[in-house]
Amino acid sequence: MRIYLLLIAFSFTASYLLTPMVRSLGERFTANQMLRERDQHRAPIVKFGGVAMIASFAMGIWLASNFHFFRGVFGGQAIQGLCLALLVIVILGLADDMFDLRWWIKLLGQILIGWLMATHGVLIQSLPVGSWRIDEQWLQVVVTIFLVVLTMNAINFSDGLDGLAAGLAAIGAATFFVYSYVLATHVSADDYANLGALLCALLLGACLGFLPHNFNPANIFMGETGVLAIGLILSVSAIAVTGDVQGLEARRFRNIPAYMPMLLPMVIVFLPVLDLVLSVFRRLANKRSPFSPDSKHIHHRMLAQGHSVRRAVILLYLWAAVIAVSVVSIAFIPVVLVIPLALVLFLAAAIGTWWPLVVRRVGALRTRLGSE
């Protein structure tokens, strides 16, 4: 555990120190930037924070490669494919943040990113429920690309308020790290170096280091580069965990539907995925492209209810923690203990979320009764 904590601290420090440097360099590109109708800020803000996050993540990968503990993780092609995919993300993300690329160009770029991972050995070959295997290689590639693209877009849809995407990613990375680490120790008590745990540890540090600069009022945004990188890392971690689950015969891990590869990242980023699904249906119902932007996401609706930006973000953090921690805890803690705790946390989050609406309705009712 100590080596993972060291990597988290290293990634945090690198991200925290690199972000102001990236902001200073990016300010020359934002002077003439036009604000969009759905933007919550009133002045142009640098959108290149994802570059600092990727740089700190890459530095953490380099540091980990020097530890004998991770010799097995760096033995395959997964890390090489991840580095190539992150390079594509930097190019695609910066181009989109500066020139606002068309949705289909971004989709093609995301498919390329997923294909790079699939061709470097990061493939969904089976599902950890029963003995369901995917034998056809072309189908493995398609399912892998679908998972990568889905997760990247889910994170992208959550990047609407200061600190929201970075905080949700940090919560997801932390819970995913704990699950991956404990699972790895059950698979092998002697060699429990784990690709999923490594990636989530570095992602956790990078997000936490970036968050002080990005929390309301933000002085820098992660931009397309950051959200795509987060989605990629979480999806690759989910696929890596699948192999560990298949190597473990304990029914406690193998028969929990939440750990199916297609659902793992959705559990971790449940709110962004829910927002993604609702947004797609909403836009299709209005005869618009599912990739077209609007201002009707969950976080926008919370602002309309009367929440401040900070309170809305903190409440969404709470919802993400309730969902992620509750589901992951089922693997380690008896259900009879998890359910009461989850219900209490759910009730607290629900009261905090809808309280302004309740107060407004009660006030309106009192006004109407007083006028009568």
Q: Residue 197: how many CB atoms within 10 A of its CB? A: 28
What gap in Å lies between CA 208 and CA 13, rounded to an integer?
9
In this structure, what is the dihedral angle of CA atoms 148, 127, 273, 98, given to the nearest 10 degrees? 0
Q: 231-262, pLDDT tens digit by residue?
A: 999 989 888 877 555 544 444 444 443 343 34
- Nearest 5°: the CA angle 234, 235, 237 is 65
pLDDT at 259: 47
pTM given for the model:
0.84
Non-local (6+) Cβ contacts of 46 within 8 A are: 22, 23, 26, 27, 29, 30, 219, 220, 221
Please say whether the dihedral angle defined by the alpha carbons of residues 130, 135, 137 and 143, taken in this order, is positive or negative.
negative
- Per the DSSP assignment, residues forming a β-bridge with 126 are 133
Tell me the sheet residues that pair with 133: 126
Q: What is the mean pLDDT of the chain?
A: 81
Q: Which of 59, 212, 235 is nearest to 143 (CA)?
A: 235
| Tens-place pLDDT, residues 341-360 | 888 888 888 888 777 767 77
d(CA 227, CA 13): 20
Query: Tens of pLDDT along 156-210?
Result: 877 777 898 899 899 889 988 888 887 777 766 666 788 989 999 999 999 999 9
The per-residue pLDDT for 250 is 42
Residue 244's CB is within 10 A of a number of other CB atoms, namely 22
32 assigned binding-site residue: no
Q: Decide if 21 contacts 48 (C-beta within 8 A).
A: no
pLDDT of residue 185: 78
| Closest among 228, 293, 221 to 29, alpha carbons compared | 221
Asked whether 252 and 331 are in contact (CB, 8 A), the reply is: yes
Does 33 have pLDDT greater than 50? yes
Cα 84-89-95 angle, rounded to 5 deg? 135
Residue 325 pLDDT level (bands cut at 50, 70, 90): confident
**Percentage above 90 pLDDT, the chain:** 37
Look at residues 225, 206, 231, 156 and name the one whose alpha carbon lies nearest to residue 19.
206
Q: In the chain, how many H helices and how many E strands?
A: 14, 0
**Residue 130 φ/ψ region, left for φ over 0, alpha for ψ in the -120 to 50 degree band, beta for the rest:** left
Shortest CA distance to 221 belongs to which of 28, 14, 22, 8?
22
Half-sphere exposure of 200 (CA within 13 A, CB side): 29
**Highest-confidence segment of 146-160, 218-232, 302-316, 326-340:** 218-232
Cβ atoms of residues 205 and 8 within 8 Å: yes
Q: In the structure, what pLDDT confidence band is assigned to residue 145 with cuts at 50, 70 and 90?
A: very high
- Would you state the pLDDT for residue 187? 65
Strand extents, DSSP E, 194-327: none
Q: Say if residues 276 and 153 touch (Cβ distance below 8 Å).
A: yes
